[in-house]
Structure 1
């Protein structure tokens, strides 16, 4: 399970991803709760969540840039932006000038780079570890995000409740700085896919031509196309609840405060973390495409059960089970993309994968309107029913590529 940690660069990337993810989760919790408390508007809360993913439109283009200049170099640039932005936010808070409008502006700026940075993590990792360790390495890397959603949620809510937003945001800025330092410690050489120019990328550089090449490559590869549609679907139907709506659920459904919100966020993340550990242990025996399909359906099913409960403990249990299914679906999806894509196209493939996240901000805005007009339960039941139905459609449409035991996407 821990073979990837024998690779020096992987150890540094894992650590950098860990502290950066902690900072992101703390920031999302603190600012999301601030918006809800200051405005009392679920629509503004969903707008805040949507802005954090605005940069998905840039992801394919930044994927092209990553293939050209190297994933390590680009991720260092993006994480330096986190440091600058969080430092500015600290100064604004200390000056007593923070407002809901400024928080939305912060979310807009952060959202320009967040989706791309998270996608480039995967393509950088794929260049640092052998193909045989890729699914295990992906599972271990996923624990950085999952543990952040546990620890970051609990620490963030605890600090916010005890010492307030000022000190909490200083900690967030410090974690972003530490993440940049560990990223700079990753050593690659010119000509390697992790840094420097890929010799297989067409020259001279043309952003739109190379982006078109990546899209055509995905479109002509059936299992990649199926995986992309699953990513599009779950970001629209399944992710709005744990990503953007939990502050609303905590306050309006369970009647709890920011500490209860931290428990709910941590519950989903604990389930995800367990899923990562399971895949890190037995991932070499998992057929990725089948797992991607089956557990996407299970994930939606647990959320249907969740919307019918009003007890915090039972809600935490169901969120944990949903988090487990979520990772048992998405980790194989990412492993499938990285293992079966040609190295010269990995950055572009992950860029398009992150573009799928754009359905999340759109879905959050739609969900906010529907909740105010039709109610939380009806909205979520509609979302989950659509998710299950369309997952089955994708499975049937590309059954030869994702369901057959001997398909490339199911290779062990």
Structure 2
């Protein structure tokens, strides 16, 4: 089998990836339709769009660290079925309201928040579940293929959403139809999770109920210089740079005066670069730390240049480079965090990682939305790119300082199955393992269907 697709030799992962393609396409249909609903039928502006995005990601900031504790205590497969069903319900409600023509901006706010609650619990379970479906040798490849799946859907979804919205008249009813399609798409993932052979899953022992689980996860990450380096990079890029729902929509509508079809195409052109980057990432077997810095710096520069493009066509042609840098950074960061973490801590580690990646959006999105509305969409891209470059400088300085403090540990041999030497709080890991093994976990029963 080609090294680009080697993780597909795992039957459970094949099922998961197939369901994800369908669901991810639906997700991008809704994202585009929701943005269009706010900007056009409901006559909102950049600030409104920023608030919707912020409310959708606010639960990630508030709840994901605790969701990581839950992910380490329950069956991740069952947990994913529950979270996917909850997000389907939120999508269905928004679609019905839009289809009936009664949707108002405050309703979009509320439903975006409810959707975010489901996403907050979904993210750490989904991220850490990958390592249960594939072995350590295939983990980096699986992360890359997940991203390729997501970005394949990102190419198809926004463009298809724009065409469907235009086909059905461009109003609230049209957006309602598109959002309802997404609600149905969640059934693909739920069904594929049910079909999995649980005997083939590499599930770690579940953590027993007890105090201090979240503190253990934080203590563990604090002693990992590479993880802290990654977290600083993705915080600045994710908070200030990756606000594409805001910046792309404002560039399309305000700067270039385009409609739904052209707006959707911008999302697809971003995804072309992301898909290319994801496929290249799937072939990697090692991830140098400098790759993360180069990817983040490239992303910051690309946003600044993209904000200076004079025409819609030149901006659309340049978007793939932005997407390429984005996915190279995120894939490398995700794989670094997963391969360097101990399995018993992985749910909490990935929860903290995703809190930083997505949790900064409630901070950055309204700010970038305000900048775009009052100073112009170009300034939204310029400021996001500049702040990302600031983050690169801070991350490199932090790693240099921590490397001096932990030099003897950082030069230790690489742990089996890991791309990097492990530097962790042995006491925190020991406590986590003891909690998992010292008692029978009474509440280990799977979550209900």
By the TM > 0.5 criterion, same fold? yes
Distance in 2 between the 1:154 and 1:342 partners? 40
Residue aligned with 1:308, SS = coil
Moved over 4 A (4+): 400-412
Q: Is the 8 A contact 2:306 2:381 kept in 1?
A: no
Distance in 2 between the 1:257 and 1:381 partners? 23
Q: Is the 8 A contact 2:35 2:245 kept in 1?
A: no
Q: Is the 8 A contact 2:251 2:378 kept in 1?
A: no
Q: Is the 8 A contact 1:142 1:331 kept in 2?
A: yes
Distance in 1 between the 2:381 and 2:319 partners? 14
Residue aligned with 1:68, SS = coil
Partner of 1:172 in structure 2? 182
Residue aligned with 1:199, SS = coil
- Measured against aligned partners, the alpha-carbon deviations of 1:64-100 in whole angstroms (never above 9, x if no partner) come to 1011002212111100112222333343344332222
Partner of 1:345 in structure 2? 345
Distance 1:236 1:170, change over 3 A: closer
Q: Is the 8 A contact 2:23 2:185 kept in 1?
A: yes
Distance in 2 between the 1:59 and 1:291 partners? 27
Q: Is the 8 A contact 1:30 1:156 kept in 2?
A: yes
Partner of 1:299 in structure 2? 299
Give the TM-score of the pair, scaled to structure 1.
Answer: 0.91
- Measured against aligned partners, the alpha-carbon deviations of 1:188-209 in whole angstroms (never above 9, x if no partner) come to 259x664xxx4363x3x13x51
Partner of 1:255 in structure 2? 257
Q: Is the 8 A contact 2:369 2:380 kept in 1?
A: no
Distance in 1 between the 2:132 and 2:345 partners? 12
Partner of 1:110 in structure 2? 115
Q: Does 1:4 align with 2:7?
A: yes
Q: Is the 8 A contact 2:299 2:326 kept in 1?
A: yes
Deviation at 1:379, TM superposition (A): 4.1
Unaligned runs of 5+ in 2: 169-173, 422-449
Q: Is the 8 A contact 1:338 1:346 kept in 2?
A: yes
What RMSD over aligned residues (CA atoms) do the two structures have, in Å?
2.4
Q: Is the 8 A contact 1:290 1:402 kept in 2?
A: no
Q: How many residues are paired up?
A: 402
Q: Does 1:83 align with 2:61?
A: no
- Measured against aligned partners, the alpha-carbon deviations of 1:7-38 in whole angstroms (never above 9, x if no partner) come to 11101111222222112111111011110112
Deviation at 1:402, TM superposition (A): 8.5
Pick aligned residue for 1:219 from 216, 222, 226: 222
Q: Does 1:276 align with 2:278?
A: yes
Unaligned runs of 5+ in 1: none
Q: Does 1:187 align with 2:197?
A: yes
Q: Which moved more, 1:298-307 or 1:176-185?
A: 176-185
Partner of 2:132 in structure 1? 127
